[in-house]
Amino acid sequence: MIKTNRRNFLKGAAAVIGGAALAKGVFEKTEADNRVANNQELTFEPKRLDYYPPFEKWNDWKEPAGDYWKKEGGTLRDGVKLINYMLIPTVCNNCEAACGLTAWIDKDTMTVRKFMGNPFHSGSRGRNCAKGYAALSQMYDPDRIPFPLKRAPGSKRGENKWVRTTWEEALETIGKRMREVLLKGDQISKKQIMYHVGRPNENGFHVRRVVHSWGVDGRNTHTNICSSNGRFGNIITVGDDRTSPDFANSRLIVLVSSHAADAGHYYQQHAGYIADARAKGAKLVVIDPRMSNSAGIADLWIPAWPGTEGAINIAMISRLVREEKFNKKFVERWFNWKQFLSAKDYLNYLKEKGSLTELPTGETFDNFVAVLKDIYKDYTFEWAAQEARIPVSMLDKLYEMILWAGDRITQYHWRAVAAGNRGGWIGAGRTGTILMAMMGALGGPGGTGWYKWHTLSLGDKGGDSCVAETPEPVKAWNELLWPPEWPMSTYELSYLLPHLLMDDEWREKWKQKGLEIPDKVEVWFSRIYNPVWINPDGFRWVEALVREDKFGLNIYLSPNWGETAFYCDYILPMGLAGERFDQQSEPTKPEKWTVFRQPVLRIALQKMGWKPNDPAKATLEAHKKVGFGEVWEEDEFFVNLAFAIDPDGSLGIRKYWESKQNPGKPVTMEEYYNAVFSKLPKLSQVCQEMGVTPFEYMRDRGAWTEATDVYNIHEKPLPYDQEKKAYQYEGKWIPESEIKIEDDRVYHVEESGKKHKIGIVKDGKIINGWKTPSGHIEFFSKTMVDWKWPEYAIPIYPRNREDRKQMIHIVSQVHHDYITEPNAFVLNPIYRLPYLVHTRSINSKWCMEIAQNHNPIWIHKKDAERLGIKRGDPIKLRVIDTLTGIETGYFVGMATPTEATRPGVLACSHHNGRWRLINEVKIPGFEHELGVMRYGSVLVDIKSQNGKYFMRTKEGIKPFKSWQYPEFNKDTKYIWWKGTSGVFQNAVFPANPDPISGMHCWHKKVLVEKAGPEDKIGDVFVDINRTWEVYKAWRDQLTRPGPGPEGYRRPKWFPRPWFKIDEEYWKFPSA
């Protein structure tokens, strides 16, 4: 044994001259985090991709023109013309990710030359996807609507006869109509004004404050055709509705029928973080029947049968429990296992049902683990492999990765798993979130956080710039949005609006129970929302929209044409990414960032000294001044509309939009958004130090990050003030005396006796906990029991055919049980394409060009071979409802045999397949014809009789000469593509509302046939009498209507987005 110490070693080692040289030199330092702040000097040849002009030069930046560069570049630099740019930040408006943009405005021509990224945006990090850069082509779209249009007097909706009108006339007419409705003041009238929005891309100005200020329950969204199933499972489990994964620091990224690494939410931001994580060694697993681009680059692609993703999750849970390899510390601390074990009736119920063999002998954590083992004993990998129709080895691999990744797992289940399937919420948030929680992967670095932790919803918070700050709770409950059949629906049942309006029997039934349901919507706003095309049962929408006894006044707020526009009364051209104000914040990473969308030409003009005549209409005036057209924006429009509805203030609406600084005048955007951004303490402090206002800061930089490293909010204590002797909760101080603790739950008890949970007690401290009634992660949901769904109160999955019959509410409508005929398939229509976003990209010639021939019907090679189908063949897809067996219609598309979809599953994205009724619109007195979606849609002929609709393409896409922005659009004469490589498939889909969440379940069973000699690609046939029957069957056979306990219309703790409803209206009138 040697006797030595450190000194000896170091002394001795000193003699090993060049000892380091003996090493092999295997290590190499990699590039540290890219910082966009570097390399900010003007250079003609940027060496780095993140090169960006220095901020202090944004108002005056010179750069060579592209054309000149081509002609005069290289060595002849003297001949290069420099463009005088001003860079104004804004935000992309194409998808929901809200990536930063900068508009590069040529000050000599007052046109935007290009859109680039915004380096101040900590989420998008100066980068954009194709659609971000394509914002320019949307801005100067040759078919852009240049001025407000009104349905020609004497014409009918759908005839497409239009006249030019003014914004003033539109404001006056709409305002007057709304005033007439509101003056009635009864319950019905509060349900007859509706603002229906697609993806809003703003956080509260319209979706909350505008509609709230009208005092109506009339906010309607697209959520139930998008993400309600994605939300529901999370809400009942953790009380938040959307995961916000920390992809960048994750070790294992699981995309469950989601494609976040290429085109899914949140597009390039998420894709970038996933790439960062993988560079550090993270694994990517994609569970998806289709080989998306994400699946293509994944370490493991699991092509599970659609709707069986929950089986995989639950099998993982089962093995983790069986082998006791789950994170016991986290589970013991955060699961509501005590509540579960104390619910004796429920345990007995599980035993009677056969889910539980033995009742627990006590109420300890060990007892809970024993119960878990018992409940999940049958969910083996072999069972799951059979259910999902995949090899067991894939599950083994996934399990290994889960164990390896520990608490650094992120999961995203935003798309087909949730949106495609009945009961999709089980496979998404319910089992998925519980699986992550079992590993302790909720909330920490590299794990999965939550929407509300990472989002700054501020758009409605500018009230202190107005005479009155916050509107009172609305005194109505609109059953057209929240029908009693779906008391737990996550959002409004928006796509059922025509069904509900046209169903006299349904209204009568509920009238008998004391509900007052209108049979008509008097004023209907559609904002960036195109229900005729994007909703299921589109022709049902057409039938309703053309009826003036159902829709009194239809207003289409959109920069461009859409299928719904044909059936409206007003088309009011609104601004795009660089033409409007919006505050937006999204949960793309564990930070709280917010961005500011702006009308960039207006801001540039104002920076150059221009002043509007009417400061409340500055955006409209600016657009007119630079020759951009009579394009306005919703914010200023709605402020002015409030004055048109309530000119004398007697309705109590005007005060919410009247400037505090200039009483009697509408609030300006500068005043309002300054008040909005002043709500951010850190930003305000920085602004104070810099000597600028928060508005100016955001105007100049466009983005702000209020907090970074936002993790484990559930563990954070509620701030306590010694002097006030009060706790802070959601910005308000609650005196200790008003706090009551029951078990470990902490309530604020108001004077009226009403109590709200504000936190829980852990380790002697009051901390946030989770937003569920128990404050814990609810493995057991008492809410589900109370609202008549006890069988789904714990994460569960049907084990066999018998179970599936009993638990049909959570069995996908395309489960393989139903796909029995030799030519039967599942159709997956809901995946995104990287260059398209539903209805928002038809106005980009660049996006439409690259969209061509990318969206045929994918069919597995073996299936195609079996059916004799070859590439390019027209095939007919007959849509069959599996609950009723009813065939609703068919469509004809082009087949592409491929191995990129699993056998038995077809894929065809419904983001394409646009159509138009006319090529151009003649406007009396206007010299040019207005083009209608000429390069992104096909001209169709629609024939209908007794509810049977047949659509056929008459004409494809042709080159044309544009009168609008002619220089920018001189290339439209070279348009080479003929069609849009997609079919209007949504029309054939009946409305299939999930019985619990209300989500429209998009996947469909189809029977595939080779098209006959009479069939043509693009043909669509649907019988809406049959879609009606299907809808009714789903409603009547599957739902369990309210009211719930104490006569409530929906669980009181469930959010009712976005504004408050008076307590009285939460209950059934009879209660």
Partner 1 sequence: MNEKVQENQARINMYGFLSRLLIEEVDVQLLDTIKSSPDLLDFFPTCKEWREFFSKDSKSLVEEELNVDYTTVFLLNVYPYESVFMNDEGYINPSLTNPALQFYLEHGYEIDLNKTRVLSPDHIAVEMEFMITLIQEQLNAYSMFNKEEERRYILTQKEFLENHLLKWSPIYLLSAKDTSETPFYKDVCQTTLEFLLSDYEYIDTQLQSLTV
Range in contact with partner 1 (rule: CB under 8 A) among 279-287, 459-467, 918-926, 1021-1029? 279-287
Range in contact with partner 1 (rule: CB under 8 A) among 1-9, 258-266, 820-828, 931-939? 1-9
Residue 255: CB minimum distance to partner 1, A: 18
Closer Cβ to partner 1, 21 or 49, answer by number: 21
Residue 39: CB minimum distance to partner 1, A: 20
Closer Cβ to partner 1, 279 or 690, answer by number: 279
For residue 486, give the nearest of 1004, 1047, 1036 by alpha carbon.
1036
208 binds partner 1 (CB under 8 A): no
19 binds partner 1 (CB under 8 A): yes
Residue 284: CB minimum distance to partner 1, A: 11
Could you write out the DSSP letters of every residue in 967-981? Answer: TTTGGGGG------S
Q: Which residue from 144, 283, 319, 910 is in contact with partner 1, where contact means CB under 8 A?
A: 283
Sign of the CA dihedral running 1000, 1005, 1008, 1014 = negative
- Number of residues counted as binding partner 1 (CB under 8 A): 38
Q: Are 1010 and 876 in contact (CB under 8 A)?
A: yes
Closer Cβ to partner 1, 284 or 826, answer by number: 284
**Cα–Cα distance for residue pair 1069/1071, rounded to 1 Å:** 5
Closer Cβ to partner 1, 11 or 184, answer by number: 11
Q: Which residue from 18, 764, 868, 1012 is in contact with partner 1, where contact means CB under 8 A?
A: 18
Q: Are 49 and 38 in contact (CB under 8 A)?
A: no
Q: Which residue from 15, 74, 974, 1014 is in contact with partner 1, where contact means CB under 8 A?
A: 15
12 binds partner 1 (CB under 8 A): yes
Residue 313: CB minimum distance to partner 1, A: 21
13 binds partner 1 (CB under 8 A): yes
Residue 388: CB minimum distance to partner 1, A: 23
Residue 33: CB minimum distance to partner 1, A: 9
319 binds partner 1 (CB under 8 A): no
Q: 3-class SS at 191?
A: helix
1 binds partner 1 (CB under 8 A): yes
Are β-strands 300-302 and 283-287 bridged in parallel, bridged antiparallel, or unpaired? parallel
393 binds partner 1 (CB under 8 A): no
Range in contact with partner 1 (rule: CB under 8 A) among 24-32, 266-274, 871-879, 1056-1064? 24-32
Q: 3-class SS at 388?
A: helix
709 binds partner 1 (CB under 8 A): no
44 binds partner 1 (CB under 8 A): no
Closer Cβ to partner 1, 98 or 395, answer by number: 395
Near partner 1 in 634-663, by CB under 8 A: none
Q: Which residue from 27, 801, 820, 946 is in contact with partner 1, where contact means CB under 8 A?
A: 27
38 binds partner 1 (CB under 8 A): no
Residue 30: CB minimum distance to partner 1, A: 5
CB atoms near residue 168 (< 10 Å): 12
Range in contact with partner 1 (rule: CB under 8 A) among 4-12, 286-294, 687-695, 1050-1058? 4-12
17 DSSP 8-state letter: T
**Cα–Cα distance for residue pair 407/395, rounded to 1 Å:** 19
Residue 29: CB minimum distance to partner 1, A: 6
Residue 15: CB minimum distance to partner 1, A: 4
Bond prior to 829 in cis (omega within 30° of 0): no
Tokens describing residue 713: 């909010």
Could you write out the DSSP letters of every residue in 473-519? Answer: PBS---TTTS-TT-TT-SS--GGGHHHHHT-HHHHHHHHTTT----S
Q: Are 441 and 406 in contact (CB under 8 A)?
A: yes
Q: Which residue from 82, 279, 608, 690 is in contact with partner 1, where contact means CB under 8 A?
A: 279
Closer Cβ to partner 1, 3 or 611, answer by number: 3
Q: Which residue from 2, 45, 361, 802 is in contact with partner 1, where contact means CB under 8 A?
A: 2
Range in contact with partner 1 (rule: CB under 8 A) among 275-283, 341-349, 496-504, 869-877? 275-283
**Cα–Cα distance for residue pair 477/217, rounded to 1 Å:** 6
Rg over alpha carbons for the chain, rounded to the nearest Å, is 29
Residue 1: CB minimum distance to partner 1, A: 8
Q: Which residue from 14, 730, 751, 976 is in contact with partner 1, where contact means CB under 8 A?
A: 14
Range in contact with partner 1 (rule: CB under 8 A) among 16-24, 84-92, 187-195, 684-692? 16-24
**Cα–Cα distance for residue pair 168/1035, rounded to 1 Å:** 44
Could you write out the DSSP letters of every residue in 643-673? Answer: HHH-TTSTTS-GGGGBBSSSTTSBPPHHHHH
CA of 1007: how far to CAs of 398, 888, 889, 991, in Å?
33, 12, 11, 19
**Cα–Cα distance for residue pair 210/215, rounded to 1 Å:** 9
Residue 53: CB minimum distance to partner 1, A: 29
**Cα–Cα distance for residue pair 5/711, rounded to 1 Å:** 44
How far from the centroid of its chain's Cα atoms is residue 744's Cα?
Answer: 35
Closer Cβ to partner 1, 14 or 76, answer by number: 14
Q: Which residue from 71, 77, 280, 724 is in contact with partner 1, where contact means CB under 8 A?
A: 280
10 binds partner 1 (CB under 8 A): yes
CA of 56: how far to CAs of 59, 87, 108, 124, in Å?
7, 10, 20, 21
Closer Cβ to partner 1, 183 or 279, answer by number: 279
**Cα–Cα distance for residue pair 870/866, rounded to 1 Å:** 10
**Cα angle at 711 between 706 and 715, to 5 degrees?**
120
Residues 6+ apart with CB under 8 A from 307: 417, 420, 421, 422, 423, 424, 427, 811, 812, 813, 814, 815, 1003
Q: Which residue from 388, 401, 419, 698 is in contact with partner 1, where contact means CB under 8 A?
A: 401
49 binds partner 1 (CB under 8 A): no
Bond prior to 697 in cis (omega within 30° of 0): no
35 binds partner 1 (CB under 8 A): no
Q: 3-class SS at 769?
A: coil
Residues 6+ apart with CB under 8 A from 20: none
Burial group, residue 732, by CB count within 10 angstroms (0-12, 13-18, 19+): exposed
Sign of the CA dihedral running 337, 342, 343, 346 = positive
Q: Which residue from 44, 404, 733, 1053 is in contact with partner 1, where contact means CB under 8 A?
A: 404
Q: Which residue from 74, 154, 281, 1013 is in contact with partner 1, where contact means CB under 8 A?
A: 281
984 residue type, one letter:
F
Closer Cβ to partner 1, 8 or 393, answer by number: 8
Closer Cβ to partner 1, 11 or 511, answer by number: 11
Range in contact with partner 1 (rule: CB under 8 A) among 22-30, 706-714, 900-908, 1026-1034? 22-30
Closer Cβ to partner 1, 171 or 252, answer by number: 252
| Ramachandran angles phi, psi of 430, nearest 5° | -75, -65
Q: Which residue from 29, 47, 611, 801 is in contact with partner 1, where contact means CB under 8 A?
A: 29
Range in contact with partner 1 (rule: CB under 8 A) among 49-57, 396-404, 639-647, 764-772? 396-404
Near partner 1 in 225-254, by CB under 8 A: 251
Residue 880: CB minimum distance to partner 1, A: 44
30 binds partner 1 (CB under 8 A): yes
Residues 6+ apart with CB under 8 A from 445: 246, 249, 408, 590, 709, 711
**Cα–Cα distance for residue pair 27/394, rounded to 1 Å:** 33
801 binds partner 1 (CB under 8 A): no
Residues 6+ apart with CB under 8 A from 778: 236, 237, 238, 239, 336, 770, 772
Residues 6+ apart with CB under 8 A from 805: none
Residues within the interface to partner 1 (CB under 8 A): 1-2, 4-6, 8-30, 32, 251, 279-281, 283, 299, 400-401, 404
